[in-house]
Amino acid sequence: MAATYDAIILGAGHNGLILAAYLGKAGLKVLVLERKAVAGGGLSTLEDPGHPGFLHNTHAFFLRAITAMPWYRDLELERHGAELIEPELNVVLLTREGRALEWWTDFPRTYESFARFSRRDADALRRWHDEFVPIVEGVLRPEAEAPPLPPEERRALLTRSARGRRLLEVSALSPLDFVQREFEHPTIQAGLLFFNGLREVDLRLSGFGHHIPALLASPAKAQMAQGGSAALARALEAAVREAGGEIRTMATPTRLLVENGRVVGVELSAGEDLRARHLVASSLNPHQTFLELLDAAFLPPLLRDRAAAFAYNLVAPLFALNAMLTEPPRYAAATHHPELDRAFMVIMGLEHLDQFPAMIRHHEQGTVPPPIMWGACPTLFDASQAPPGRHTAFMWEKAPYRLHGDAANWDAARDEHGRALLRLWQAHAPNLADALIDSFARSPLDVERSLPNMREGDLLVGAFDHGQVGYHRPFAGAGQYRTHLPGLYLCGASSHPGGNVTGLPAYNAAQVVLSDLSLAADWRPAPLAERLGRL
Ligand SMILES: Cc1cc2nc3c(=O)[nH]c(=O)nc-3n(C[C@H](O)[C@H](O)[C@H](O)COP(=O)(O)OP(=O)(O)OC[C@H]3O[C@@H](n4cnc5c(N)ncnc54)[C@H](O)[C@@H]3O)c2cc1C
């Protein structure tokens, strides 16, 4: 007889685990299926096989404001062992001339750093920060933490309040327009766009102009998990197990089982059927969920075309260089900026706005752009990630998935490219020449091999254009975490509000699922329309 659960979740990344924990706490018998040997997905920390005691965070590392996330509180992750560190000098952009543009957890110190580049820009920073704090708190944060509203309803509600109208007005710009209109110094312009255009949306797209001021106003800063990113996954696993949930690794589903127009379970590659009384929720991408796991007979042609057309981020793929060191990188710029010895995220090679269009062109052509790289030395803040007295550090850069037209070319090019990146890093941190014990590189193709949901190496699991935002993410007819088939839900980064370790796709999916099952959820926030209507 097939084993029966109330809910089966596909993929044990942080989103799958968060949904599992909420459903378990609501009294459902939950199973999470994971193809890898270890749960956590992008929350991955590996011990170096050649160098015992050196831990590498091979995917997500900069965890944005995790301690402020509602699920972090609801699932009591600190009780389950999670500990997040938020370094004070949160981000530094080093220029060619050895200047440092700094973002501190303390806003006045950030203001001072900006003022050393341009007093006018520092004043603009403060103005936008102050104006957007209530917009982030009143609109953007509630919107991220709730199932999205239909676009017309959203617009009508926002038009009723001053905050909402201001948001709509700023959103109408592209991030590039916003930065060029409001800021003058090339380093500041480039630095602001780094966080937005480079990491999240195409900076040329109108409709996203609010991203920069939202970023300036957000209390959300970069954090890291004590013990490595996987430590956060271990805490999530503990929350799932405490709620009675089961996590089965090395388990790859081959087919969704559909009976009488309803998804009722999953077939495993081992030829085993697993039944789900209420639902199957997929944290995988739409290609996997709809085209690989669902028989064509159960997918209307229109939805099949939309799933097939789901697009991935051209500029999201990363190339990574991980190093093992006898001492932390010592940046030459620290001679004039001693605080750099305690900097968390360090950005190099970014000088000017024009580098962004050039980077997009390189990605379109399959060539590697002149490197803009950023990374950290985790052991500066958490000595447990290396043997005593030793350090780990890494650098990332944007790199095209299809190198010279074919992702397979990465296997031959990877190590040489890693050495080139190391030389550039060394130009900023000369001590690396002597401090290096060993290093290894990972390409966008390695990312996809490791996490096939990150198709084309897209770590955000889906672009933010092509209408793939908000109510219609991943596509019209599969937004709001529900699909065309009763019993089938979505809960991963391909759903609103998207990729990165936010846990919010799962948090929102949990709200929808529990509401559909008429199960109590005292943690559920008031409906979004009501909150926006009260502004
Ligand atoms: C190099 C790199 C650096 C990154 N840096 C950051 C960062 O600093 N900060 C940040 O916030 N985010 C970062 N990210 C992005 C972040 O890791 C992802 O956006 C996030 O992990 C998505 O979460 P998820 O739970 O939706 O999916 P995932 O974490 O990808 O989890 C999906 C799970 O499903 C499993 N799976 C896939 N296919 C199947 C299948 N067919 N059957 C069963 N299981 C399957 C996978 O093995 C995985 O465990 C980075 C990603 C990469 C690759």
Ligand 1 proximity of 500 Cβ (cutoff 6 Å): yes
DSSP letter assigned to residue 300: -
Report the alpha-carbon distance of residue 388 to residue 370 in Å, rounded: 36
Counting from 1 in the atom list of ligand 1, the atom nearest the Cα of 499 is 19
Residue 147: cis peptide before it, omega within 30 degrees of 0: no
How far is C-alpha 352 from the chain's CA centre? 25
Check residue 2 and give its pLDDT: 80
Check residue 353 and give its pLDDT: 87
DSSP letter assigned to residue 363: H
Nearest to 389, CA basis, from 434, 431, 327, 338: 327
Counting from 1 in the atom list of ligand 1, the atom nearest the Cα of 447 is 53
User: If DSSP codes are grouped into helix, strand and coil, which group holds residue 108?
Assistant: helix
Residue of the nearest CA to atom 27 in ligand 1? 13
Report the alpha-carbon distance of residue 371 to residue 355 in Å, rounded: 10
pLDDT, averaged per 10 consecutive residues of the chain (535 residues), comes to 92 98 98 98 97 98 96 98 97 94 95 98 97 96 96 96 96 93 96 74 82 87 97 98 98 97 95 96 98 97 97 94 98 95 96 88 94 96 98 97 98 96 95 97 98 96 88 93 98 96 98 97 95 93
Parallel, antiparallel, or unpaired for β 100-104 and 89-94? antiparallel
Cα dihedral value 111, 115, 117, 118, nearest 10: 120
Residue of the nearest CA to atom 18 in ligand 1? 500
Report the alpha-carbon distance of residue 128 to residue 151 in Å, rounded: 25
User: If DSSP codes are grouped into helix, strand and coil, which group holds residue 268?
Assistant: strand
Residue of the nearest CA to atom 45 in ligand 1? 11
Cα 176 to averaged position of ligand 1 atoms, centre (Å): 28
Report the alpha-carbon distance of residue 289 to residue 494 in Å, rounded: 11
Cα 58 to averaged position of ligand 1 atoms, centre (Å): 11
Cα 13 to averaged position of ligand 1 atoms, centre (Å): 6
Q: Which of 254, 283, 288, 496 to mutate to test the pocket of ligand 1 (most atoms within 8 A of CB)?
A: 283
Check residue 269 and give its pLDDT: 87
- The CA-atom distances, in angstroms, between 221 and each of 69, 217, 255 are 12, 11, 40
Report the alpha-carbon distance of residue 114 to residue 289 in Å, rounded: 46
- The CA-atom distances, in angstroms, between 483 and each of 36, 261, 281, 307 are 26, 12, 10, 11
